[in-house]
A = this chain, B = another copy of it.
Protein backbone atom coordinates (compact mmCIF):
# COMPACT_ATOMS: atom_id res chain seq x y z
CA UNK A 1 0.00 0.00 0.00
CA UNK A 2 1.15 3.48 -0.83
CA UNK A 3 -0.38 6.75 0.26
CA UNK A 4 -1.75 8.95 -2.51
CA UNK A 5 1.27 11.24 -2.09
CA UNK A 6 3.80 8.42 -2.40
CA UNK A 7 1.98 6.94 -5.37
CA UNK A 8 2.05 10.33 -7.10
CA UNK A 9 5.75 10.64 -6.32
CA UNK A 10 6.67 7.44 -8.19
CA UNK A 11 4.18 7.70 -11.04
CA UNK A 12 4.67 11.33 -12.14
CA UNK A 13 7.66 11.92 -14.41
CA UNK A 14 6.98 15.20 -16.21
CA UNK A 15 9.41 18.15 -16.16
CA UNK A 16 10.13 19.30 -12.64
CA UNK A 17 8.76 16.21 -10.86
CA UNK A 18 11.08 14.37 -8.45
CA UNK A 19 10.80 11.02 -10.25
CA UNK A 20 11.06 12.89 -13.54
CA UNK A 21 14.36 14.24 -12.31
CA UNK A 22 15.51 10.69 -11.55
CA UNK A 23 14.57 9.47 -15.05
CA UNK A 24 16.48 12.42 -16.52
CA UNK A 25 19.70 11.05 -15.02
CA UNK A 26 19.74 8.08 -17.43
CA UNK A 27 20.05 7.33 -21.09
CA UNK A 28 16.60 6.03 -21.94
CA UNK A 29 15.32 4.25 -25.07
CA UNK A 30 13.55 6.78 -27.29
CA UNK A 31 13.18 5.09 -30.67
CA UNK A 32 13.98 1.93 -32.54
CA UNK A 33 16.96 2.65 -34.82
CA UNK A 34 14.78 1.57 -37.74
CA UNK A 35 12.42 4.47 -37.10
CA UNK A 36 15.06 6.87 -38.43
CA UNK A 37 16.57 4.54 -41.01
CA UNK A 38 18.60 6.92 -43.18
CA UNK A 39 19.82 10.48 -43.70
CA UNK A 40 17.06 13.03 -44.37
CA UNK A 41 14.29 10.52 -43.68
CA UNK A 42 10.97 11.80 -42.32
CA UNK A 43 11.13 13.24 -38.79
CA UNK A 44 9.31 11.30 -36.06
CA UNK A 45 7.11 12.65 -33.25
CA UNK A 46 8.37 11.54 -29.84
CA UNK A 47 6.80 12.01 -26.45
CA UNK A 48 8.96 11.11 -23.46
CA UNK A 49 8.51 12.00 -19.80
CA UNK A 50 5.58 14.22 -20.84
CA UNK A 51 7.74 16.31 -23.20
CA UNK A 52 6.64 16.65 -26.85
CA UNK A 53 9.68 16.33 -29.07
CA UNK A 54 10.70 15.73 -32.65
CA UNK A 55 13.48 13.34 -33.71
CA UNK A 56 15.30 13.37 -37.03
CA UNK A 57 18.43 12.17 -38.78
CA UNK A 58 20.19 14.83 -40.83
CA UNK A 59 21.96 14.65 -44.18
CA UNK A 60 25.20 13.55 -42.52
CA UNK A 61 23.35 10.88 -40.53
CA UNK A 62 23.52 12.84 -37.25
CA UNK A 63 20.62 12.37 -34.85
CA UNK A 64 18.56 15.18 -33.36
CA UNK A 65 15.92 15.23 -30.63
CA UNK A 66 14.42 18.60 -29.80
CA UNK A 67 11.33 20.62 -28.96
CA UNK A 68 8.57 19.68 -31.34
CA UNK A 69 7.37 23.25 -31.90
CA UNK A 70 9.21 25.81 -33.99
CA UNK A 71 10.71 28.64 -31.93
CA UNK A 72 8.97 31.20 -34.13
CA UNK A 73 5.21 30.64 -34.00
CA UNK A 74 4.95 27.14 -32.52
CA UNK A 75 4.23 25.12 -35.66
CA UNK A 76 4.94 21.40 -35.26
CA UNK A 77 8.23 20.55 -36.94
CA UNK A 78 6.76 17.15 -37.82
CA UNK A 79 5.55 18.98 -40.93
CA UNK A 80 9.13 20.11 -41.54
CA UNK A 81 11.42 19.48 -44.49
CA UNK A 82 14.45 17.42 -43.48
CA UNK A 83 17.09 18.71 -45.85
CA UNK A 84 20.71 19.83 -46.03
CA UNK A 85 21.61 19.11 -42.45
CA UNK A 86 18.62 20.59 -40.78
CA UNK A 87 14.90 20.44 -40.25
CA UNK A 88 13.15 23.36 -41.91
CA UNK A 89 9.81 24.62 -40.64
CA UNK A 90 7.40 24.75 -43.60
CA UNK A 91 5.70 27.93 -42.40
CA UNK A 92 8.47 30.50 -42.92
CA UNK A 93 11.48 28.33 -43.64
CA UNK A 94 13.24 28.62 -40.29
CA UNK A 95 15.80 25.83 -40.08
CA UNK A 96 17.27 23.98 -37.09
CA UNK A 97 20.23 21.64 -36.86
CA UNK A 98 20.44 18.51 -34.68
CA UNK A 99 21.60 20.53 -31.69
CA UNK A 100 18.43 22.67 -31.83
CA UNK A 101 20.43 25.66 -33.11
CA UNK A 102 18.55 27.78 -35.62
CA UNK A 103 20.77 28.00 -38.70
CA UNK A 104 18.58 29.89 -41.13
CA UNK A 105 15.76 32.42 -41.06
CA UNK A 106 15.33 33.25 -44.74
CA UNK A 107 13.67 36.62 -44.18
CA UNK A 108 16.48 37.91 -41.93
CA UNK A 109 20.22 38.48 -41.86
CA UNK A 110 22.30 35.57 -40.46
CA UNK A 111 22.84 37.33 -37.13
CA UNK A 112 19.15 36.95 -36.35
CA UNK A 113 19.06 33.17 -36.30
CA UNK A 114 22.19 32.75 -34.19
CA UNK A 115 20.30 33.83 -31.09
CA UNK A 116 17.56 31.25 -31.60
CA UNK A 117 17.82 27.72 -30.25
CA UNK A 118 15.38 24.98 -29.44
CA UNK A 119 15.77 22.85 -26.34
CA UNK A 120 17.51 19.71 -27.61
CA UNK A 121 18.74 16.46 -26.12
CA UNK A 122 21.51 14.09 -27.17
CA UNK A 123 20.21 11.11 -29.13
CA UNK A 124 22.65 8.25 -29.75
CA UNK A 125 22.33 4.93 -31.56
CA UNK A 126 23.55 1.85 -29.79
CA UNK A 127 22.45 -1.74 -30.02
CA UNK A 128 19.53 -1.07 -32.36
CA UNK A 129 18.06 1.61 -30.11
CA UNK A 130 18.22 5.40 -30.20
CA UNK A 131 18.90 6.50 -26.63
CA UNK A 132 18.06 9.94 -25.29
CA UNK A 133 19.55 11.80 -22.36
CA UNK A 134 17.18 14.50 -21.13
CA UNK A 135 19.05 15.70 -18.05
CA UNK A 136 21.73 18.15 -17.00
CA UNK A 137 24.31 18.22 -19.85
CA UNK A 138 27.15 18.47 -17.35
CA UNK A 139 26.15 15.20 -15.70
CA UNK A 140 25.69 13.13 -18.85
CA UNK A 141 26.85 9.55 -18.10
CA UNK A 142 28.65 7.22 -20.54
CA UNK A 143 26.43 5.15 -22.85
CA UNK A 144 24.54 2.08 -21.59
CA UNK A 145 26.38 -1.23 -21.47
CA UNK A 146 23.52 -3.72 -21.36
CA UNK A 147 24.70 -7.00 -22.86
CA UNK A 148 21.94 -7.18 -25.47
CA UNK A 149 23.14 -3.84 -26.86
CA UNK A 150 26.72 -5.07 -27.14
CA UNK A 151 26.12 -8.27 -29.13
CA UNK A 152 25.94 -8.37 -32.92
CA UNK A 153 22.65 -7.31 -34.57
CA UNK A 154 22.15 -10.90 -35.75
CA UNK A 155 22.07 -12.03 -32.13
CA UNK A 156 19.15 -9.83 -31.03
CA UNK A 157 15.60 -8.71 -31.80
CA UNK A 158 14.00 -5.58 -30.38
CA UNK A 159 10.39 -4.35 -30.46
CA UNK A 160 8.30 -1.77 -28.66
CA UNK A 161 4.60 -1.46 -28.07
CA UNK A 162 2.34 1.31 -26.86
CA UNK A 163 0.82 0.64 -23.46
CA UNK A 164 -2.16 2.60 -22.10
CA UNK A 165 -1.08 2.98 -18.49
CA UNK A 166 1.49 4.51 -16.21
CA UNK A 167 5.01 3.16 -16.46
CA UNK A 168 5.22 1.92 -12.86
CA UNK A 169 2.50 -0.73 -12.95
CA UNK A 170 4.07 -2.03 -16.17
CA UNK A 171 7.53 -2.13 -14.64
CA UNK A 172 6.23 -3.81 -11.49
CA UNK A 173 4.86 -6.55 -13.72
CA UNK A 174 8.36 -7.01 -15.07
CA UNK A 175 9.89 -7.40 -11.59
CA UNK A 176 7.21 -9.84 -10.55
CA UNK A 177 8.11 -13.29 -11.82
CA UNK A 178 5.50 -15.05 -9.69
CA UNK A 179 2.65 -14.36 -12.13
CA UNK A 180 4.29 -16.56 -14.76
CA UNK A 181 2.94 -19.69 -13.06
CA UNK A 182 -0.60 -18.36 -13.54
CA UNK A 183 -1.09 -15.83 -16.29
CA UNK A 184 1.46 -17.29 -18.69
CA UNK A 185 1.29 -20.91 -17.55
CA UNK A 186 -0.24 -22.32 -20.74
CA UNK A 187 2.30 -20.42 -22.85
CA UNK A 188 5.20 -22.26 -21.23
CA UNK A 189 4.01 -25.37 -23.04
CA UNK A 190 2.91 -23.82 -26.31
CA UNK A 191 4.97 -20.74 -27.18
CA UNK A 192 7.88 -21.71 -29.45
CA UNK A 193 10.09 -19.23 -27.62
CA UNK A 194 9.32 -20.71 -24.19
CA UNK A 195 8.35 -24.33 -24.55
CA UNK A 196 10.45 -27.41 -23.99
CA UNK A 197 12.82 -25.95 -21.41
CA UNK A 198 13.66 -28.34 -18.60
CA UNK A 199 12.99 -25.71 -15.95
CA UNK A 200 9.37 -25.13 -16.97
CA UNK A 201 8.24 -28.12 -14.94
CA UNK A 202 9.30 -26.43 -11.69
CA UNK A 203 7.34 -23.29 -12.64
CA UNK A 204 4.24 -25.35 -13.13
CA UNK A 205 4.57 -27.73 -10.19
CA UNK A 206 5.54 -25.42 -7.32
CA UNK A 207 2.97 -22.63 -6.99
CA UNK A 208 4.50 -21.34 -3.76
CA UNK A 209 7.80 -19.83 -4.87
CA UNK A 210 9.87 -18.24 -2.12
CA UNK A 211 11.36 -14.89 -3.00
CA UNK A 212 14.75 -13.74 -1.87
CA UNK A 213 15.53 -10.24 -2.96
CA UNK A 214 18.90 -8.62 -2.43
CA UNK A 215 20.40 -5.24 -3.16
CA UNK A 216 22.82 -5.20 -6.04
CA UNK A 217 24.82 -2.33 -7.51
CA UNK A 218 22.36 -0.39 -9.69
CA UNK A 219 19.26 -2.14 -8.46
CA UNK A 220 18.10 -5.50 -7.17
CA UNK A 221 18.44 -9.20 -7.72
CA UNK A 222 15.10 -10.92 -7.36
CA UNK A 223 15.53 -14.63 -6.79
CA UNK A 224 12.53 -16.96 -6.86
CA UNK A 225 13.19 -20.45 -5.67
CA UNK A 226 10.99 -23.44 -6.32
CA UNK A 227 11.32 -27.01 -5.13
CA UNK A 228 13.38 -29.34 -7.30
CA UNK A 229 14.50 -32.93 -6.96
CA UNK A 230 17.60 -34.21 -5.11
CA UNK A 231 17.72 -31.63 -2.36
CA UNK A 232 17.97 -28.86 -4.86
CA UNK A 233 16.11 -25.62 -5.50
CA UNK A 234 15.28 -24.29 -8.94
CA UNK A 235 16.24 -20.61 -8.86
CA UNK A 236 15.04 -17.99 -11.32
CA UNK A 237 16.98 -14.76 -10.91
CA UNK A 238 15.65 -11.50 -12.35
CA UNK A 239 17.87 -8.44 -12.21
CA UNK A 240 16.25 -5.03 -11.97
CA UNK A 241 18.38 -2.05 -12.88
CA UNK A 242 17.02 1.37 -12.01
CA UNK A 243 14.77 2.83 -13.06
CA UNK A 244 13.08 0.39 -15.39
CA UNK A 245 15.26 -2.34 -16.86
CA UNK A 246 14.32 -5.95 -16.19
CA UNK A 247 15.42 -9.29 -17.58
CA UNK A 248 13.53 -12.57 -17.65
CA UNK A 249 15.59 -15.56 -16.53
CA UNK A 250 16.53 -17.85 -19.44
CA UNK A 251 14.79 -21.13 -20.32
CA UNK A 252 16.78 -23.97 -21.89
CA UNK A 253 18.46 -22.77 -25.06
CA UNK A 254 15.84 -20.13 -25.80
CA UNK A 255 16.91 -16.51 -26.32
CA UNK A 256 16.86 -14.37 -23.18
CA UNK A 257 14.09 -11.77 -22.87
CA UNK A 258 14.10 -8.37 -21.25
CA UNK A 259 12.19 -5.12 -21.02
CA UNK A 260 12.35 -1.39 -20.49
CA UNK A 261 9.25 0.49 -19.36
CA UNK A 262 9.53 4.10 -20.43
CA UNK A 263 7.05 6.86 -19.56
CA UNK A 264 5.49 8.61 -22.54
CA UNK A 265 3.44 10.68 -20.15
CA UNK A 266 1.84 9.79 -16.83
CA UNK A 267 -0.93 7.69 -18.43
CA UNK A 268 0.95 5.94 -21.22
CA UNK A 269 4.28 4.17 -21.58
CA UNK A 270 6.39 2.25 -24.04
CA UNK A 271 6.89 -1.42 -23.32
CA UNK A 272 10.27 -2.17 -24.88
CA UNK A 273 10.99 -5.85 -25.41
CA UNK A 274 14.22 -7.49 -26.52
CA UNK A 275 15.50 -10.99 -27.09
CA UNK A 276 19.11 -12.03 -27.51
CA UNK A 277 21.48 -14.94 -27.46
CA UNK A 278 24.89 -14.26 -26.00
CA UNK A 279 26.79 -16.92 -27.92
CA UNK A 280 25.02 -17.33 -31.27
CA UNK A 281 22.83 -15.67 -33.88
CA UNK A 282 19.09 -15.98 -33.52
CA UNK A 283 17.78 -18.70 -35.81
CA UNK A 284 15.48 -17.85 -38.69
CA UNK A 285 12.65 -19.61 -36.86
CA UNK A 286 13.22 -17.64 -33.69
CA UNK A 287 13.33 -14.33 -35.56
CA UNK A 288 10.20 -15.27 -37.51
CA UNK A 289 8.33 -16.13 -34.31
CA UNK A 290 9.30 -12.78 -32.77
CA UNK A 291 8.19 -10.84 -35.83
CA UNK A 292 4.98 -12.81 -35.69
CA UNK A 293 4.23 -11.51 -32.20
CA UNK A 294 5.19 -14.62 -30.24
CA UNK A 295 7.30 -14.77 -27.08
CA UNK A 296 7.17 -11.35 -25.45
CA UNK A 297 6.42 -9.49 -28.68
CA UNK A 298 3.04 -8.75 -30.27
CA UNK A 299 1.12 -8.09 -33.47
CA UNK A 300 0.37 -4.45 -34.34
CA UNK A 301 -2.27 -2.34 -36.01
CA UNK A 302 -0.47 -1.84 -39.32
CA UNK A 303 1.65 1.32 -39.46
CA UNK A 304 1.60 1.78 -35.69
CA UNK A 305 3.13 0.38 -32.51
CA UNK A 306 -0.35 -0.13 -31.07
CA UNK A 307 -1.13 -3.80 -30.40
CA UNK A 308 -3.87 -5.31 -32.54
CA UNK A 309 -5.42 -6.72 -29.36
CA UNK A 310 -5.91 -3.71 -27.12
CA UNK A 311 -8.16 -2.04 -24.59
CA UNK A 312 -10.64 -0.83 -27.21
CA UNK A 313 -11.41 -4.40 -28.28
CA UNK A 314 -11.08 -6.05 -24.85
CA UNK A 315 -7.80 -7.61 -26.07
CA UNK A 316 -9.87 -10.02 -28.19
CA UNK A 317 -10.89 -11.89 -25.03
CA UNK A 318 -11.79 -15.51 -25.82
CA UNK A 319 -13.82 -17.00 -22.96
CA UNK A 320 -13.89 -20.39 -24.63
CA UNK A 321 -10.09 -20.52 -24.70
CA UNK A 322 -10.06 -19.45 -21.05
CA UNK A 323 -12.57 -22.13 -20.09
CA UNK A 324 -10.75 -24.85 -21.98
CA UNK A 325 -7.38 -23.79 -20.58
CA UNK A 326 -5.88 -22.97 -23.96
CA UNK A 327 -4.93 -19.68 -22.36
CA UNK A 328 -5.20 -18.96 -18.64
CA UNK A 329 -7.01 -15.61 -18.90
CA UNK A 330 -8.58 -15.95 -22.33
CA UNK A 331 -6.08 -13.49 -23.81
CA UNK A 332 -3.58 -14.68 -26.38
CA UNK A 333 0.14 -13.95 -26.18
CA UNK A 334 2.41 -13.21 -23.25
CA UNK A 335 2.81 -9.51 -24.11
CA UNK A 336 -0.92 -8.88 -24.38
CA UNK A 337 -1.64 -10.98 -21.31
CA UNK A 338 0.59 -8.57 -19.38
CA UNK A 339 -0.73 -5.47 -21.12
CA UNK A 340 -4.37 -6.39 -20.54
CA UNK A 341 -3.98 -6.84 -16.80
CA UNK A 342 -1.66 -3.90 -16.25
CA UNK A 343 -3.96 -1.59 -18.20
CA UNK A 344 -6.97 -2.97 -16.31
CA UNK A 345 -5.54 -1.42 -13.13
CA UNK A 346 -6.54 1.97 -14.60
CA UNK A 347 -4.45 4.67 -16.30
CA UNK A 348 -2.58 5.17 -13.00
CA UNK A 349 -2.98 2.28 -10.58
CA UNK A 350 -4.49 3.41 -7.29
CA UNK A 351 -2.06 1.82 -4.83
CA UNK A 352 -3.91 3.11 -1.78
CA UNK A 353 -6.07 -0.04 -2.07
CA UNK A 354 -3.49 -2.70 -2.84
CA UNK A 355 -2.57 -5.55 -0.49
CA UNK A 356 0.94 -6.78 -1.19
CA UNK A 357 2.01 -10.34 -0.47
CA UNK A 358 5.42 -11.89 0.31
CA UNK A 359 5.80 -12.62 -3.43
CA UNK A 360 5.80 -8.86 -4.00
CA UNK A 361 9.04 -8.45 -2.08
CA UNK A 362 10.85 -7.32 -5.25
CA UNK A 363 8.26 -4.63 -5.85
CA UNK A 364 8.45 -3.41 -2.27
CA UNK A 365 12.24 -3.20 -2.29
CA UNK A 366 12.29 -1.52 -5.69
CA UNK A 367 9.92 1.18 -4.49
CA UNK A 368 12.03 1.70 -1.42
CA UNK A 369 15.15 2.07 -3.55
CA UNK A 370 13.40 4.61 -5.77
CA UNK A 371 12.18 6.68 -2.82
CA UNK A 372 15.73 6.73 -1.53
CA UNK A 373 17.10 7.69 -4.94
CA UNK A 374 14.60 10.55 -5.20
CA UNK A 375 15.61 11.82 -1.77
CA UNK A 376 19.33 11.57 -2.47
CA UNK A 377 18.99 13.35 -5.79
CA UNK A 378 16.83 16.14 -4.37
CA UNK A 379 18.83 16.67 -1.22
CA UNK A 380 22.38 15.80 -2.19
CA UNK A 381 22.34 15.92 -5.99
CA UNK A 382 23.51 12.30 -5.84
CA UNK A 383 23.22 10.31 -9.09
CA UNK A 384 20.81 7.37 -8.62
CA UNK A 385 21.77 3.69 -8.88
CA UNK A 386 21.97 2.32 -12.43
CA UNK A 387 23.47 5.43 -14.00
CA UNK A 388 26.96 3.93 -14.00
CA UNK A 389 27.14 1.62 -17.06
CA UNK A 390 29.33 -0.83 -15.13
CA UNK A 391 26.13 -1.70 -13.28
CA UNK A 392 24.47 -2.77 -16.55
CA UNK A 393 26.83 -5.72 -16.99
CA UNK A 394 24.61 -8.28 -15.41
CA UNK A 395 22.63 -11.31 -16.54
CA UNK A 396 19.50 -13.09 -15.55
CA UNK A 397 19.93 -16.78 -14.78
CA UNK A 398 18.03 -19.98 -14.05
CA UNK A 399 19.96 -22.52 -12.06
CA UNK A 400 19.58 -25.62 -9.91
CA UNK A 401 21.43 -25.18 -6.62
CA UNK A 402 21.83 -27.24 -3.48
CA UNK A 403 19.29 -26.15 -0.91
CA UNK A 404 21.90 -24.92 1.53
CA UNK A 405 23.46 -22.40 -0.82
CA UNK A 406 22.26 -18.84 -1.41
CA UNK A 407 21.99 -17.91 -5.08
CA UNK A 408 23.76 -14.66 -4.46
CA UNK A 409 27.00 -16.50 -3.86
CA UNK A 410 26.43 -19.73 -5.73
CA UNK A 411 25.18 -18.02 -8.93
CA UNK A 412 27.70 -15.19 -8.83
CA UNK A 413 29.46 -16.22 -12.03
CA UNK A 414 26.17 -16.96 -13.79
CA UNK A 415 24.99 -13.40 -13.15
CA UNK A 416 28.10 -11.79 -14.63
CA UNK A 417 28.19 -10.85 -18.33
CA UNK A 418 30.78 -12.93 -20.17
CA UNK A 419 30.71 -11.86 -23.78
CA UNK A 420 30.24 -14.79 -26.15
CA UNK A 421 29.54 -17.26 -23.36
CA UNK A 422 26.14 -18.91 -22.93
CA UNK A 423 23.76 -18.04 -20.10
CA UNK A 424 23.29 -20.31 -17.14
CA UNK A 425 19.94 -21.81 -18.01
CA UNK A 426 17.77 -24.77 -17.08
A interface residue numbers (CB < 8 A to B)? 42, 69, 71-76, 78-81, 90-93, 105-108, 112, 116, 169, 172, 178-179, 181-183, 207-209, 317, 319, 322, 328-331, 337, 340-341, 344-346, 349-351, 353-360
Contact = CB atoms under 8 A, between A and B. Distances in A.
How many copies of this kind of chain does the complex include?
3
A90 B330 CA distance: 9
A181 B93 CA distance: 9
A32 B159 CA distance: 44
A357 B92 CA distance: 10
B346 A92 contact: no
Nearest to A359: B107
A208 B329 CA distance: 60
Given A79-B329, A179-B92, A71 B108 contact: no
A151 B169 CA distance: 50
Contacts of A79: 317, 329-331, 340-341, 344
Nearest to A78: B344
B358 A107 contact: yes
A93 B69 CA distance: 48
A102 B341 CA distance: 19
Given A79-B341, A91-B183, A207-B93, A73 B107 contact: no
Contact of A75 (B106, B108, B341, B357): B341
A127 B105 CA distance: 41
B354 A74 contact: yes
A182 B90 contact: yes
Nearest to A211: B107
A338 to B, nearest CB: 9
A322 B77 CA distance: 14
A337 B91 CA distance: 9
What 9 A-B pairs are tightest by C-beta distance, nearest first?
A76-B344, A90-B329, A74-B345, A106-B207, A93-B182, A75-B341, A107-B359, A42-B319, A71-B355
A296 B190 CA distance: 51
Contact of A107 (B69, B75, B207): B207
Nearest to A74: B345
Contacts of A209: 107
A41 to B, nearest CB: 9
Contacts of A350: 74
Nearest to A68: B344
Given A91-B179, A107-B207, A81 B329 contact: yes
A107 B346 contact: no
A216 to B, nearest CB: 23
Given A72-B354, A79-B330, A93-B182, 14 more contacts: A72-B355, A72-B356, A73-B169, A73-B345, A73-B349, A73-B360, A74-B345, A74-B346, A74-B349, A75-B345, A81-B322, A91-B341, A93-B207, A106-B181
A73 B351 CA distance: 8
28 contacts: A71-B353, A71-B354, A72-B354, A73-B169, A73-B354, A74-B345, A74-B346, A74-B350, A74-B353, A74-B354, A75-B345, A76-B344, A79-B317, A79-B340, A79-B341, A81-B322, A81-B329, A91-B183, A91-B341, A92-B179, A92-B182, A92-B183, A93-B181, A105-B357, A107-B358, A107-B359, A108-B208, A116-B355
A344 B208 contact: no
Nearest to A341: B75
A359 B169 CA distance: 49
A404 to B, nearest CB: 23
